[in-house]
Structure formats: structure tokens, C-alpha cells
A and B are shown apart, each in its own frame.
Chain A
């Protein structure tokens, strides 16, 4: 939870990430995976990022860490813009990532010890072999792995344990900020809860800041202080976790939240779901104006003409919709 004297640790301004897609023999067309997204994350806070597949949430996470070079926009960290190669190298010792798939994100030919120590080796952070070993064992202890597992290989572990290895690796450089890209969606329900609790504990213990990307809204609500909703490369709403659940303003957020299956039969039977018609348009042929207008029950002609501005409607509650005032 962000403290009293929290300051913005991560500040993303007008971030754009376009991928060129071949549409003819010599022609490419930009796929606007992320299109003009701005947000800040306070020190010690968890910002949840939700949206459906293809909405650009993973691309945001990767571009923030500059795993993809941004097409446009600025990334500020701790009051400084990340511009030069040196900035980036320093930044990468403070900001790391946990990946979605615990099966493909660990090298099958490396022992757990080497996997976790790799960031230390890359950044030259361990002075001796002994120190490297001690640090790895300390990290394994943080994430609840046994020290005797250090010499084993990734395939010997279950999904939940593999994800712990991935988390230990991301903690190796002593980061302040971690991008968690769907870290629990590949895990079984009973294991999910273990890993979510571990993220909470590590945050308390090490004062971490998270960008938590997920499509499971119940999980995101549990872990996040604030939640941002994305649709087709654009951010459509951002507010406190409770606020966005109790009072979603954007028609897309409304339907997304009402569509979450609640594990309670009586609530589920009484629940009036807002079921959207149609499918998500292809990001290659995104609609003009507001990207959601093709599925929006409230769309008017104005929505086709211009993209609504992402503006603050009440304290800390941002929404991008032309008709916010009328439909709420």
C-alpha cells in the first residue's frame, strides 16, 4: 500500500508502440498495440492493468521496461527520463519482470542456481562465487524454495514452484519496481493463492512497486491499489480499485466487471450481466474515434469522429468517454 509521503516512481507519458505488419510485398501497416497511454505509479503501490487479449496490456508492460523500443513517448523513473543506454542499464537493475508462462520462461539447460544468479552475472553484482551462492540461497528463501533445490533443473518443478523461481530471479538485482505479466494465470486455483500472497508479502518486506498485468479481475482487485482498464491499445479508465468496481464509469469497464463470474450461486443468479454484442475488432483495422464504439450500447455519431480525451472526472478517477456525464 502506498504510504503518506508517496511520490510517483514510474511516470509514463504518451507512450506509443506500433509494430509494422506486412500487408503486401513491400508495404507495411502499423499495428497500434499501444496508442498514447499515460499513467503514473506511486512508490510502493500496485497498479493493476486489465483488458482482454490483444488490448495491448502486455505490450505496455514490456515497453515500460524498454524490452520493446517505444515508437514515441517518454518513460520517467524516479524523476529522471530514461534516454541513453547508460540510463537504461541502470534502470534495468531497478526494474525487472516476472513472466506469464513459468514453463517457457526458464532455461531448461540451466540449474535453478544459475537461473536465479543470471541477473547478478549480467550486471556484475556478485564479487565472489561464495557471495553469489549466498545471495541465491537468500532469494530462494524469500520465495519459499528449499536450498537443496538449487542444483536441480526447471523441469523437476511444478508450475507454482517454477513461478517462484521466476520471481526469485526478478528479485536478484534488488529491484524497486517489478512488472508482473499475468504471473498467476497459468497456475491452478489452489496454487494461485499461494503466489498472490507471496507477492503481497514481498511488497511489504522489500517495499516493492508493482505493475500487475492480468485478465482475471478478481485477482487484480485483490492485489491492486489502483486499476487501469485498456481496450484496443487505449487506456479507457483508471481509478482506485474499489472505486472502479463499485462505480465504473466507462461502458466497457461496466460490462467487463459485470461479466466476471462471481463464485456465489445466489449472487450469480441475481446478477444482471451487461452482455456485449460482437467481437473485439482487429487492432489493424481499429474503428475511428473511440475504439469501443462498435460494441458500445451508448455510441453516437460523435464517438466515431474523435477519440475522447482521457480526463479526470473526480479525484483520481480518469475516464475516456464522450458520454460519461450522460450515461452515469
Chain B
């Protein structure tokens, strides 16, 4: 089976008055059918821009300046607006962070849902309405008939997010991009939405790209995880590898800085310093200025992607240094044994 989505060395920049901002700076990843991929990072790490680049819905100042995005083997970069219109909604759809502002307040829910359905599928008005009702039932909206006539302001945040999900799934996309889908919601509503997404994913077999800053959400939802910092991928691997065997100093720092049951009586171990200014990127590893274990090479040269094992890769010189120490130790042991 071919890869569903293949991103290679993607570069997206924003051209601002202050200069070129390299929001996404050479990232590569794959996504297979039916998998949930998590993209984690702090604000400004480029996780949302990655998603917007796939759909090519960047702001006017943003531009994909290099790399390739292949969907089912078809190249999307420079494919033109006509191709993109068949991709958006049909093959790849997106739900945004803020369900309050991503629905149009002047149209009814029914109007907005059927508009999306009729735009992408050859259904007539009646069929589109039936499909809209079916979708609302699928996402557990109560009284769907009534909701169709209501306007966004009449619904609660959780309900609006369900409508967004219904809209995104109405044309049965292969990939659903969820850009911080639960950040604006309360904990108990978040739990409802995450359960819903997980069960729909299992039922419909689509792939999900889950963009979030919440490691708890990642742990709950994702098969694979990408950790981003300053537009680059620090580390990628299966969820278990990332959580139980982190191999990039930034990922390790993130894991240590979240409160958990284990460290509740000790002070947290924060990452020192402040996030990087994307206009003044350092030459070496972007995380080096904040890294406790930074070495000379980290400041000079960026570490290439290193395979840890089949399911796991990280770009951190510390791994190289540790491997050297281990092999030196090993050699020392061997010579010691020989002498004996």
C-alpha cells in the first residue's frame, strides 16, 4: 500500500517587514492510513503552519519555499489552486482551535453544513440535508433537526466543536487535521470530544493529524508523535518511545516540566530561558541556547536526524556524545579484559 501522506524537507516562510520568518524549516514525515499522528510544540514552533502548508491555506505573506508534499503519490506543492480545491474537504479536512470564530455567525448551522456537502459531493439540496442530519447524529448532537435551524451563537462551545467535526467529516476525508481541537474547551467537554474523535477514527478509518501543546492529549490519542521546536523536528517516533525513551534534550525538558503525580512534592524542573526569536535563528541547534547539556558543536552545527531504532529518530548531539562515551567505555572494558 502506498503512503497516504509523504512530506519531504518542507520549508514554509513568512515574508514580513522585519524579514523572512522561517516558520517551518525543513521537516519530513509520513502518515499511513488509519494512524493518529501528534504534532507537539510550543507557540511559534511551526506546528499549525505545517498543517496550513499541507492544505495551502497560509496567510498572504506565507509561502512554501521548498520541499514536497505528496498525497497518495500526487505532488501538492505548486499543484495549483484547482487541484487544491479537490483536496481540501474531500481528501484532507481541518478543524480549527476556536469553534467560536470558525463558524460564520450570520448563517444557520444547516446552511453551513449543507454548503460544505454540496460543494464537495454531487448531492442535491434534499440529499445534502439528509447527510447533514446523519453527520450531526454521528457526532452525538442532540435534537439535530432543531440544530440545523439554529445559529452558532445559540450553541455551546462543545456543541460548536461537534458541528465543526461533522462538517469536516461530511465528505469522508482520508486525513483529518485537528489544530488544537480542544484547547478552548473545558476538561469534561474535552474528554467528550476526544472520545468522539477516537471512536469516529476507528469507525471511519481515517488518519488524524493532531496538533496540540498538551502532552496529556497526545498520550491519550496518538500512535506516533513529532516534537517540534522553532520550525524543525527535534524528535519523532511512536508515542511509547517518545514518552518513555525521549532522546532529545528538549523533549526530556518538556517531560520534566509538566506536573505529575510522581513529582508533586518536588519543585518542577523548568526549561530555562525564553522561546527563540524566529527572526534571529542561531546557526546551530535552535534549542542550544536553552539547553543545559549544550556542547560546543551544538552552537555551531545543527545535528542531523539520527535513527535511534526503527520507530524512533532524534536530532540531538547529546546522543552522539553518549554513544561515543559508551563505545569508549566498551573499548576500555575490552582492553582491561585483555590485560587480565
A and B interact physically: yes
* Shortest beta-carbon distance from B192 to chain A in Å: 6
Q: Known contacts A158-B275, A264-B243, A280-B186: does B42 contact A197 (CB below 8 Å)?
A: no
B-facing residues in A274-303 (Cβ within 8 Å): 275-277, 279-280
Which of B119-127, B169-177, B263-271 participates in binding chain A? B263-271
Interface 1/0 per residue, A19-52 and B, CB below 8 Å = 0000000000000000000000000000000001
Q: How many A-B residue pairs have CB under 8 A?
A: 129
- Residues of B within 8 Å of A261, CB to CB, are 190-191, 194, 214, 216-217, 219-220
Residues of B within 8 A of A259 (CB): 187-188, 190-191
Which of B158, B192, B258 interacts with A189 by CB under 8 Å? B258
Partner of B264, one of A161, A221, A275: A221
Chain B contacts of A53 at CB under 8 A?
186
Instruction: Verify if A263 is at the interface (C-beta below 8 Å from B).
Output: yes
Tell me whether A280 and B156 are in contact (CB under 8 A): yes
* Inter-chain contacts of B220 with A (CB < 8 A): 261-262, 265, 268-269, 271
Whether a CB of chain B sits under 8 angstroms from the CB of A196 is yes
B205 to chain A, nearest CB (A): 20
Task: Contact check, B243 vs A218: say whether CB atoms are below 8 A apart.
Answer: no
What's the Cα separation between A196 and B254 when bound, in Å?
14
Roughly how many angstroms separate A52 CA and B261 CA in the complex, as a whole number? 22
Which residue of chain A is the closest to B190 with respect to CB atoms? Answer: A259
A263 touches B190 (CB 8 A): no
| Contact indicator per residue, chain A 208-234, by CB within 8 Å of chain B (1) or not (0) | 000000010111011000000000000
Task: State which residues 228-266 of A face B: CB under 8 Å.
Answer: 245, 255-256, 258-266
Q: Please name all residues of chain B whose beta carbon is closer than 8 Å to the beta carbon of A264 when the two chains form the complex.
A: 219, 243, 260
Q: Does B34 contact A (CB under 8 A)?
A: no
B272 to chain A: closest residue by CB = A194
Q: Indicate if the CB atoms of B254 and A189 lie closer than 8 Å.
A: yes
Residues of B within 8 A of A201 (CB): 267
Chain A residues with CB under 8 A of B42: 188-190
Instruction: Please give me the residue from chain B that is nearest to A50 by CB atom.
Output: B187
Query: How many residues does chain A have at the interface if contact means C-beta atoms less than 8 Å apart?
Result: 44
Scan residues 137-160 of chain B and give those whose CB is less than 8 A from a CB of chain A: 156, 158-159
- A193 in the interface, Cβ–Cβ < 8 Å? yes
> Using a CB-CB cutoff of 8 Å, which residues 190-207 of chain A contact chain B?
190-194, 196-197, 200-201
Q: Which residue of A lies closest to B229 (CB)?
A: A190
Cα of A200 to Cα of B270 in the assembled complex, Å: 13
Distance in Å: Cβ of B240 to nearest Cβ of chain A: 6
Q: Determine whether A273 belongs to the interface, using a CB cutoff of 8 Å to chain B.
A: yes
Question: Which 7 A-B residue pairings sit nearest by Cβ, starting from the closest?
Answer: A261-B216, A193-B270, A222-B259, A52-B186, A193-B257, A259-B191, A190-B271
Name A's B-contacting residues (CB within 8 A): 52-53, 158, 160-161, 188-194, 196-197, 200-201, 215, 217-219, 221-222, 245, 255-256, 258-269, 271, 273, 275-277, 279-280
Ordered by A's residue number, 5 sampled pairs between the chains whose C-beta atoms are within 8 Å are: A188-B42, A190-B42, A194-B271, A263-B215, A266-B240
